[in-house]
Amino acid sequence: MLQPELKLRRDKIRSLMAQQGIEAALITCNANLIYTYGCVVSGYLYLPLHSPALLFFKRPNNITGEHSFFIRKPEQITELLKEQGLPVPTKLMLEGDELPYTEYVRLAGLFPDTEVVNGTPLIRQARSIKTSIEIEMIRRSGMAHSKAYEQIPSVYRPGMTDIEFSIEIERLMRLQGNLGIFRVFGRSMEIFMGSVLTSDNAGYPSPYDFALGGQGLDPALPGGANKTPLKEGQSVMVDLGGNFNGYMGDMSRVFSIGKLSEEAYAAHQVCLEIQEKISSIARPGIACENLYNTAVEIATKAGFADKFMGTNQQAKFIGHGIGLEINEVPVLALRMKQELETGMVFALEPKIVIPSVGPVGIENTWVVTNEGIEKLTNCNEEIIDLEAFYKQEE
C-alpha cells in the first residue's frame, strides 16, 4: 500500500477523532490494521492526532522502518511513546466492539490517567466512505468475481448436489485469485466462502443476520448448502464473497435446472425491477430507509410480501455496506435514517424465496458517485438454465 493512501486513510480517522476530542488511537484488529497500515501484523498502530503513526510489532520479525518498534508485550508501548517524546493522551480510543474484554482492559490499563473510549464506531464511519484507491480495488475485485461467475454453468453436471456444485464454484473463485477468507464484523457471524442455496433449503432460517440462511452441512456451521440434489424445476442461487484483494465484493446470481414455475420467473423480474428502481433513485443524500421501503413496496405490490428476503424468517434489510468486511456501514434497512454519501460502497440484494422452487433475485456491489450509484459487478442477471447449457455443450 502506498504511503499517501495510508496517510489519507489515517487522516480520515484523525478528522473524526478531532471532532470528539480524541488525541490518539491504538489500533490492533486485523481489518483496521489493513486499513491503516496496509497489511496484517501482530502488533499495534499508535495513531496520534498531530504526529505520525508509530507501529509496535511482535510478528513478523522482519519489519523495518523509522516508525516501527519491536515489542514483546504491549506493556512496552508507554515507555517507547515517552522515549519518542510523545505526550500521554488525555483521551484515547481502542477498538471496543472488536477487542476481547480482557485485551481491552489490559490495553486501557497502560494509560491509567487517560480517558479511554470505544473507537470502533468512529473507525467504521471513516471506513464507510471509500477512497478512490479502495473503490478501484473493489472494482477490480468485482471484475474477477464476474469472471469466475461467468464460468459457473461450465461446472454443472446433472445429478450434482448443492454442495458439490458449491465446491466447484469455490474452486473457480480461488483460481481467479479469491483469498478465500470471508471477513465479517462482529464475533458471531461465521460462514465459509458464501452460500449456494437450492429448493426449500433457501427458506431454512439462519442464526445469523444474512439475507438468506440454509441448513448447512453440520450444526457446527449452519448456513448454506445441505446436500440437496439439484433437481428439475428448482432454482439455485450462488452467493459467494468476492475477496480478491482484501475487499469483500458481494454478488448473487440465480440458475435453474430446466424450467422454473412462472411465479419464479415473475419473482425474479420483480427483484430486477427493485434493483432498477433503486439504482435510479439512489444518490448522495437519500436515506437508507427510503431505499428499503421502496423495495418492500414493489415486492408487496407484486404479491411477494411474505416471500421477500426469506419465508420462515425474513431479513429486514435489502443491502449492506461492504469493504474490508462484508457488513459495513450503511445498512439499507427498516428505520435506517442514515443517508448515502459519495464514496460509500454497498451490496444491494433483493431476493425472493419461492416455496418448492428455491431462491430468485439479484445481488450486486454498487458505489455511490456524486450523481447516483454505479454497479461494480457486471455479468448476466437473467436466470441461466444449467441443464440447457449442459446439453448444448455436450
Binding site for a copy of itself (CB under 8 A): 1, 28-30, 34, 38-43, 59-62, 94, 96-105, 118, 120, 163-164, 167-168, 170-171, 174-175, 177, 179-181, 183, 186-188, 190-193, 204-209, 213, 216-222, 243, 245-246, 312-313, 324
Smallest separation (angstroms) from a copy of itself to the CB of 341: 24
The answer to whether residues 311 and 299 touch, using CB atoms and an 8 Å cutoff, is no
Rounded Cα distance between 18 and 4, Å, is 20
Smallest separation (angstroms) from a copy of itself to the CB of 261: 25
Of the two residues 30 and 279, which places its CB atom closer to a copy of itself in the complex? Answer: 30
Rounded Cα distance between 355 and 286, Å, is 34
Smallest separation (angstroms) from a copy of itself to the CB of 336: 18
Burial of 61 by CB count in 10 Å (0-12 exposed, 13-18 middle, 19+ buried)? Answer: exposed
Of the two residues 88 and 167, which places its CB atom closer to a copy of itself in the complex? Answer: 167
Smallest separation (angstroms) from a copy of itself to the CB of 386: 19
- Main-chain dihedrals φ then ψ at residue 32, nearest 5 degrees: -75, -30
Of the two residues 26 and 270, which places its CB atom closer to a copy of itself in the complex? Answer: 26
Evaluate the omega torsion of the peptide bond into residue 330 and state whether it is cis, within 30 degrees of 0. Answer: yes
Of the two residues 224 and 278, which places its CB atom closer to a copy of itself in the complex? Answer: 224
Smallest separation (angstroms) from a copy of itself to the CB of 187: 6
Of the two residues 328 and 381, which places its CB atom closer to a copy of itself in the complex? Answer: 328
Rounded Cα distance between 23 and 25, Å, is 7
Rounded Cα distance between 393 and 325, Å, is 38
Of the two residues 105 and 281, which places its CB atom closer to a copy of itself in the complex? Answer: 105
Beta bridge partners of 366: 346, 375
Smallest separation (angstroms) from a copy of itself to the CB of 175: 6
**Helix-helix angle 120-128:3-19, to 10 degrees:** 130
Report which secondary-structure segment, H or E, holds 385.
strand 384-385
